[in-house]
Amino acid sequence: MNEIINIRVVQKSIDNEKKRFVNARELHKWLKAGRDFSNWIKDRIEKYDFMEGTDFFKVMPHKELKQVKNFDFTILRNQNKELTLAKDFDSPNLANQILKQGGDVRSIEYILTIDMAKEVAMLENNDLGKKVRKYFIKTEERFKQVMRAAFENPNKHKDGFLFGAVCWVSI
């Protein structure tokens, strides 16, 4: 996905499995969604039945965690899953909350799995959402071509593996 959506991806091990995540604010900004972030992400979560702890995690920004007494900065627990994501996804838009200007409103960061980020991006109803959909359709077509070639020319394969270029979707 980084080829088309140029936002930061963080890789973390959870339950001894490496997983990749993106900050929903960065995705929202890149998609140029016309709505404010908090309503946009809450609407997407509700409308498309994303599950907290599976598809996304909610965390406090790292700057705000520093203000919480006795907080273990190395681990954030969310539904019995260990995360160390808060400092990796520090929101750039927290000056008012940190300085307590305009009320004591705490921002919530939404950390999305790559699969949720792909789905949210494809669902966005604007030119960038369309660009993402076309990218994944084109990638799937390239994959089908590789698989078709593998079945049509079994002699070019050894032990079930295709020699040559195989297109893997990296996101």
CA distance 143 to 145: 5
Tell which wins on pLDDT, 152 or 167. Answer: 152
Query: H or E stretch including 130?
Result: helix 127-152
Task: Tell me the per-residue pLDDT of 62-113, one tens digit each, with 9 for 90 and over.
Answer: 555 455 444 444 444 444 454 445 455 545 444 444 444 555 456 889 999 9
Q: Are the C-beta atoms of 50 and 56 separated by less than 8 Å?
A: yes
Q: Which phi-psi region, left, alpha or beta, contains residue 102 (left: φ > 0; alpha: ψ -120 to 50)?
A: left
Task: Tell me the per-residue pLDDT of 30-68, one tens digit each, with 9 for 90 and over.
Answer: 999 989 999 999 999 999 999 999 999 998 765 554 554
Tell which wins on pLDDT, 156 or 129. Answer: 129
Q: At what angle do helices 127-152 and 24-31 cross, to 10 degrees?
A: 100
For the entire predicted model, the pTM comes to 0.65
How far is CA 1 from each of CA 22, 54, 69, 143, 168, rounded to the nearest angstrom?
11, 20, 38, 15, 11
